[in-house]
């Protein structure tokens, strides 16, 4: 396993984190603890969860595992989404986040977490109120660092500017969806993260299973898979993606590289992502121990420049026009030497 700093902080995390959204639902407690054991044995030290993962059960399962283990594991959790039926049981208000953080600490059985992330933007709560809560939590020793998840570029920049203006502790990470099928964050969000020193923690690195090759483009999925249980599931929808030529091109390219190397398609997709600019740690999410073992086999894998270029071309989301491509790029570029730019 390789390691990187958590954004611009001095904390060090493994380049692959263990995501725990399946714990307590798709993965029972025994299976979850087996995944945690295997992950740590492989050199992983970064576990990511959230208070809404199976209504807090994920955090409880991790807490019981922590109670019988020792060692240096970095913990990350999140708050923002509904944790009850009341009007104040949701959002990023000081009131809700205080209750959410305290509940997460109780479930995890710890007195602090290393990274506390705002799970999404809240259009109702003043940003000053939200970010001042993170600052107070840092000063109180409840969290070591603050981070964001699912923020757009302008939202991220607004948060970082306000923090700089107030002189508060800098945010260190952004957790977005990012994979070979979802690269649009490279247009605005990734540059904003790089500008502000935020490390990326990509979730859904395998595109909901599409990049593993387990779904056919010609036959509706069935059985014990996420799309088998719900073929029209969100952005991973079989009906939408099976008719998308770019998705076919990406899957074909991943399959070809995997075949030549004699490795799984999942390992190829993970290796491409872990070496993208600004990426700190890729979040693995597995239902089974076998799936996790296959993912962890990518821990020390890096693609060649030629392989990466092949995947870049196949997965290009097509920003060919203004402002992200073509004349837009020309207007943003400026050589140091003389010229017309």
Residue 124: inside a domain = yes
Compute the residue count for the chain: 341
**Distances, alpha carbon 9 to alpha carbons 5, 13, 116, 161, 194, in Å:** 6, 11, 14, 18, 14
CB atoms within 10 A of CB 70: 6
Q: What is the pTM of this model?
A: 0.92
What pLDDT sits at residue 183? Answer: 96
Residue 329: inside a domain = no
Beta bridge mates, 94: none
Q: Quick one: CA torsion of 127, 132, 134, 138, rounded to 10 degrees?
A: 160
d(CA 236, CA 86): 31
Q: At what angle do helices 305-315 and 265-274 cross, to 10 degrees?
A: 90
Q: How many domains does the chain have?
A: 1
Task: Please report where in the chains the tokens 């923002």 appear, as a residue.
Answer: 80
Residue 325: inside a domain = no
Residue 22: inside a domain = yes
Contact status, residue 21 vs residue 32, Cβ threshold 8 Å: no
Give catalytic residue positions: 53
Q: What is the pLDDT of residues 264-307, one digit of tens each?
A: 999 999 999 999 999 999 999 999 999 999 999 999 999 999 99
Residue 226: inside a domain = no
Task: Please report where in the chains the tokens 């003389």 appear, as a residue.
Answer: 338
3-class secondary structure, 45: coil
Residue 231: inside a domain = no
pLDDT cut 70: percent of the chain above it = 91
What pLDDT sits at residue 173? Answer: 98
| Run of H or E including 246 | helix 245-261
CATH number at residue 139: 3.20.20.100
What pLDDT sits at residue 91? Answer: 97
What pLDDT sits at residue 52? Answer: 97
Q: What is the pLDDT of residues 141-162, one digit of tens each?
A: 999 999 999 999 999 999 999 9
Residue 333: inside a domain = no
Q: Which two tokens stand for residue 318?
A: 């097509």
Q: Which domain holds residue 80?
A: 3-213+265-312
What pLDDT sits at residue 127? Answer: 98
Residue 321: inside a domain = no
Q: What is the pLDDT of residues 189-248, one digit of tens each?
A: 999 999 999 999 999 999 989 999 988 776 676 666 665 566 566 556 656 666 778 999
Mean per-residue pLDDT for 85-92? 95
What pLDDT sits at residue 233? Answer: 61
Candidates 112, 178, 176; CA nearest to 148 is: 176
């Amino acid at each position: 396993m390789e390691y990187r700093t958590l954004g611009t902080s001095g904390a060090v995390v493994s380049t692959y984190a263990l995501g725990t959204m399946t714990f307590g639902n798709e993965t029972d407690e025994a299976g979850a603890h087996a995944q945690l054991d295997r992950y740590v044995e492989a050199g992983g030290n970064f576990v990511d969860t959230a208070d809404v993962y199976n209504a807090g059960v994920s955090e409880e399962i991790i807490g019981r595992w922590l109670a019988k283990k020792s060692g240096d594991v970095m913990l990350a959790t999140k708050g923002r989404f509904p944790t009850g039926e009341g009007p104040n049981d949701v959002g990023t208000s000081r009131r809700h986040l205080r209750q959410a953080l305290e509940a997460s600490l109780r479930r995890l059985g710890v007195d602090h977490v290393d990274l506390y992330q705002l799970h999404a933007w809240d259009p109702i709560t003043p940003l000053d109120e939200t970010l001042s809560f993170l600052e107070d939590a840092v000063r109180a020793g409840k969290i070591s660092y603050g981070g964001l998840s699912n923020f757009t570029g302008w939202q991220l920049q607004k948060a970082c500017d306000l923090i700089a203006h107030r002189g508060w502790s800098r945010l260190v990470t952004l957790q977005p969806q990012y994979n070979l099928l979802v690269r649009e964050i490279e247009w605005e969000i990734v540059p904003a993260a790089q500008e502000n020193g935020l490390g990326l923690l990509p979730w859904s690195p395998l595109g909901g299973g599409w990049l593993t090759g387990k779904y056919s483009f010609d036959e509706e999925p069935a059985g014990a898979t996420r799309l088998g249980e719900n073929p029209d599931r969100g952005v991973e929808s079989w009906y939408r993606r099976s008719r998308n030529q770019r998705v076919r091109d990406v899957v074909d390219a991943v399959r070809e590289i995997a075949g030549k190397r004699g490795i799984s398609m999942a390992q190829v997709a993970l290796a491409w992502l872990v070496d993208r600019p600004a990426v700190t740690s890729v979040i693995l999410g597995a239902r089974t121990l076998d799936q996790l073992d296959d993912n962890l086999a990518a821990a020390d894998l890096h693609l060649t420049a030629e392989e990466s270029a092949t995947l870049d071309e196949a997965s290009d989301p097509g920003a060919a026009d203004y402002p992200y491509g073509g004349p837009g790029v020309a207007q943003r570029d400026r050589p140091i030497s003389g010229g017309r730019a």
